[in-house]
């Protein structure tokens, strides 16, 4: 090779024709023949040369598979469910192969795949189908759902083999015995063991036995050669069910799949499930899409917990995901808890599921004695302030008596120290002079500070009466622990709240102050449980206030010992409250039934479907204008949009709706009151749109604490509209919302935040 060839990197030109010796000509001919036989990098695969790829681009108008050619060099690596890199819109993006096909409907040359990422099939056909259903149900994109379904790749973990679970023969006799206390429980276990698909709503008895019952249900499904998927709200429940599964099935028969377990550990558990090495999966909402082979049972505990609501788009709820899986994959379903949600009651009313509940005599035998302070005239004679003071004498005496036999749990609904302040003279709420935010005190030696801007106000004075004294109408768990500690100075006091949550405590006498959901577990149960500030739990303005209050109270009360063992629960509140009366009777089913009837009368979920649309006023007006609602629309005011409102069809307008612009009505439109409609909203059906209301800070992030109004922030003011349709029109509503988002995405308009059936509208 010459110096010029070495410098340029080009191959020298070989002489041709008669000048080339015969031997050299033969070598050149053979080289050309070999080159013709060797495929180029872009030659298609010999079999199924087209891959249908779902590109990871979260744009609604691009939410569809795209065809790519499979190069011959990637033929062995590209399979249905594997990750690939593709060229899309001028850049390399990730994607999932949905299928390999023989030919494409696209007329023209297909772009080849850039490379295969790992070659592991991480998206099973069943999960891919489920992803599409969830995206359609919540008017989202499959790309967003896939981020929830498939964890991030960990290359080092992918190269390791998954150890198959050893064979096991579950003891069905133990499973039948464990479920025998519930009517229909033995039949449920037998159906699981026989490979059938029973569906049940389970009202658990109080006590610590529910993890073992979930494990026995998984064992029954495993005995028929099928897998199970168990979902629980948080890591505390994961630890309890994990121990129960290890005890019932043995070590190595299940994996734990949670989002906070770390990338390597989570991906290792995910691969073990995807490869079929393990068939029993336990986890939080992150496990709802686990690719369990031969899925036979989906079960979830405490389906009313707000941790099941995904805070990222498209905001699916774990209960709906699991019920979709049960229907599509032919699996049994079990929805359980101490309390019963309205959705669970709806499953029973419609006949989709059957009830698993114990007889009333069994419930009374294992439940603690529940009382409400100030419920009798005799108690009011002894303590006239039993219904107004924060810790009445009855509750104080119950705590003192309980400490003689074991630990006592005190549940308070607020985390922190002094979470709300008011003027000591005129009782006006204490506000920050800088941003008008509420003041709070974070510690015993800390001055008042603003909850919104954080500014300290040591010299605060009331703008109404000029008073400088402060009182605390709402106390957090830290302040409650201080006060209780002073009342019982010889007893250790422990707190469990926020980022300091205790999993368990000892059976020795102690005081445990905890917020709802953070109550630690005691092996033998608490001697006494006191529920403070029940009025605060019921003061929230939300559709699920009463349901959520009962769920949290029953979860705390279930940690107490049985009434026969001296266990007692004291609720401090108004005795006439129906929620507290349901707690006294331990009747979650009756309360859920009454709530469902009220929801049906008011056309609220689950009898109806809701969709919340959030955006600026101009964007929201344009979105409502383009939204094609299902037949039979009902518009609830006020709806503030800008422009003309064209109403086509039968529209019932109820509420205060101020009409600005031209209103053209081409059909019967009974108007039942002054109404605010300000804008272009062609309404072509019977779907209630109630809005626009200014969006609170919690609508931006459901986990965030309430913040200042949007007018006090930088940026545009957000507005919200709520669309309601009958339940049968839920699917058309979701399609209409998805189409609206797709059109806005294609036109590069600002996105509208869409939430279908949001957990909270507050």
The mean per-residue pLDDT over the stretch 148-159 comes to 92
Number of CB atoms found within 10 A of residue 323's CB? 21
**Nearest one of 79, 152, 127, 119 to 292, comparing CA atoms:** 127
- Among 66-75, 90-99, 280-289, 702-711, where is mean pLDDT lowest? 702-711
Judging by DSSP bridges, how do beta strands 295-301 and 227-231 pair with one another? parallel
Q: What is the pLDDT of residues 439-459, one digit of tens each?
A: 888 887 888 899 888 888 888
Taking CA 644 as the corner, what is the angle to CA 640 and CA 648, rounded to the nearest 5 degrees? 100
Task: Name the DSSP class of 498.
Answer: T
Domains defined along the chain, listed by start: 12-37 (no CATH), 39-121 (3.40.1440), 172-362 (3.40.50.300), 368-415+476-585 (3.40.50), 608-700+714-756 (no CATH)
* Residues 213, 186 contacting (CB under 8 angstroms): no
Q: How does DSSP assign 286-303, residue by residue?
A: GGTT---TTEEEEEEE-T
pTM of the predicted structure, to 2 decimals:
0.83
The mean per-residue pLDDT over the stretch 466-488 comes to 86
pLDDT at 693: 46
- Among 188-192, 284-288, 318-322, 373-377, where is mean pLDDT lowest? 373-377
Give CA–CA dist 409/522, Å, rounded.
10
Tell which wins on pLDDT, 687 or 122: 122
Tell which wins on pLDDT, 744 or 417: 744
pLDDT at 688: 47
The mean per-residue pLDDT over the stretch 396-407 comes to 95
Q: What is the pLDDT of residues 252-265, one digit of tens each?
A: 999 999 988 889 99
On the question of pLDDT at 501 being above 80, the answer is yes
* Residues 278, 255 contacting (CB under 8 angstroms): yes
* Residues 513, 414 contacting (CB under 8 angstroms): no
On the question of pLDDT at 422 being above 60, the answer is yes
pLDDT at 19: 53
On the question of pLDDT at 657 being above 70, the answer is no
pLDDT at 382: 85
pLDDT at 715: 55
Task: Look over the chain and give the mean of its residue pLDDT values, rounded to a whole number.
Answer: 85
Q: 710: pLDDT confidence band, cut at 50, 70 and 90?
A: very low
Q: 195: pLDDT confidence band, cut at 50, 70 and 90?
A: very high
Burial grade of 47 (CB within 10 A; 0-12, 13-18, 19 or more): exposed
């Amino acid at each position: 090779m010459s110096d010029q060839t070495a410098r340029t990197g080009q191959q020298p030109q070989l002489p041709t024709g008669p000048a080339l010796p015969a031997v050299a000509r033969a070598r050149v001919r053979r080289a050309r023949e070999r080159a013709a036989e060797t495929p180029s990098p872009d030659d298609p695969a010999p079999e199924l040369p087209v891959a249908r790829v779902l590109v990871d681009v979260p744009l609604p108008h691009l939410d569809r598979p795209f065809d790519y050619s499979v190069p011959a060099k990637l033929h062995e690596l590209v399979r249905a469910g594997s990750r690939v890199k593709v060229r899309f819109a001028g850049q390399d993006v990730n994607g999932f192969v949905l299928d390999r096909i023989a030919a494409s409907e696209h007329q023209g040359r297909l772009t080849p795949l850039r490379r295969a990422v790992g070659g592991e099939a991480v998206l099973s056909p069943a999960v891919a189908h489920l992803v599409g259903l969830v995206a359609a149900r919540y008017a989202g994109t499959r790309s967003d759902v896939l981020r929830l379904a498939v964890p991030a790749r960990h290359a080092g973990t992918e190269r390791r083999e998954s150890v198959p679970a050893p064979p096991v023969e579950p003891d069905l006799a133990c499973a039948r015995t464990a479920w025998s206390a519930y009517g229909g429980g033995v039949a449920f276990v037998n159906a699981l063991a026989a490979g059938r698909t029973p569906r049940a709503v389970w009202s658990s008895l109080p006590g610590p036995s529910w993890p073992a019952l979930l494990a026995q249900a998984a064992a029954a499904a495993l005995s028929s050669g099928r897998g199970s998927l168990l979902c629980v709200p948080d890591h505390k429940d994961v630890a309890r069910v994990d121990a129960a599964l290890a005890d019932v099935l043995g070590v190595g028969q299940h994996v734990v799949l949670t989002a906070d377990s770390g990338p390597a550990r989570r991906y290792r558990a995910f691969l073990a499930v995807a490869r079929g090495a393990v068939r029993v999966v336990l986890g939080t909402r992150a496990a709802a899409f686990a690719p369990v082979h031969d899925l036979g049972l989906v079960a979830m505990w405490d389906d009313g917990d707000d941790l099941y609501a995904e805070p990222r788009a498209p905001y699916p709820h774990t209960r709906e995901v699991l019920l979709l899986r049960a229907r599509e994959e032919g699996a049994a379903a079990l929805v359980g808890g101490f309390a019963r949600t309205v959705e669970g009651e709806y499953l029973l009313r419609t006949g989709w599921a059957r009830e698993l509940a114990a007889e009333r005599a069994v419930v009374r035998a294992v439940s603690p004695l529940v009382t409400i302070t100030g419920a009798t005239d005799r108690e009011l004679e002894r303590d006239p302030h039993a219904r107004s003071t924060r810790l009445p004498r009855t509750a104080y005496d119950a705590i003192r008596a309980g400490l003689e036999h074991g630990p006592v749990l005190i549940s308070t609904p607020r985390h922190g120290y002094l979470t709300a302040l008011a003027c000591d003279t005129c009782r006006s709420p204490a506000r920050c002079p800088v941003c008008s935010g509420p003041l709070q005190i974070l510690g015993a030696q800390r001055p008042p500070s603003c909850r919104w801007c954080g500014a300290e106000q040591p010299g605060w004075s009331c703008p109404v009466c000029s008073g400088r004294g402060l009182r605390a109408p709402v106390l957090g768990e830290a302040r409650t622990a201080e006060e209780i500690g002073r009342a019982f100075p010889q007893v250790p006091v422990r707190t469990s709240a926020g980022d300091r949550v205790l999993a368990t405590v000892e059976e020795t006498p102690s005081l445990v102050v905890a917020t709802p959901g953070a109550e630690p577990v005691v092996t033998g149960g608490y001697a006494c449980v006191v529920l403070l500030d029940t009025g605060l739990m019921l003061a929230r303005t939300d559709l699920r206030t009463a349901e959520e209050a009962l769920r949290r109270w029953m979860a705390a009360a279930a940690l107490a010992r049985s009434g026969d063992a001296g266990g007692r629960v004291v609720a401090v509140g108004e005795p006439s409250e129906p929620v507290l009366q349901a707690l006294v009777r331990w009747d979650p089913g009756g309360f859920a039934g009454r709530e469902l009837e009220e929801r049906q009368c008011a056309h609220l979920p689950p009898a109806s479907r809701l969709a919340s649309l959030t955006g600026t006023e101009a964007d929201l007006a344009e979105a409502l204008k383009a939204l094609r609602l299902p037949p039979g629309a009902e518009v609830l005011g006020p709806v503030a949009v800008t422009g003309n409102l064209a109403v086509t069809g039968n529209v019932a307008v109820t509420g205060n709706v101020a009409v600005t612009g031209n209103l053209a009505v081409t059909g019967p439109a009974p108007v039942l009151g002054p109404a605010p409609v300000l804008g272009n909203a062609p309404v072509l059906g019977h779907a209630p749109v109630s809005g626009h209301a200014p969006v609170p800070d919690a609508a931006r992030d459901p986990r965030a604490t309430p913040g200042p109004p949007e007018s006090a922030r930088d940026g545009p003011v957000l507005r919200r509209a709520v669309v309601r349709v009958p339940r049968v029109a839920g699917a058309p509503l979701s399609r209409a919302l998805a189409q609206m988002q797709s059109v806005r995405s294609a036109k590069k308009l600002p996105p509208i935040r869409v939430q279908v059936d949001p957990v909270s509208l507050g």
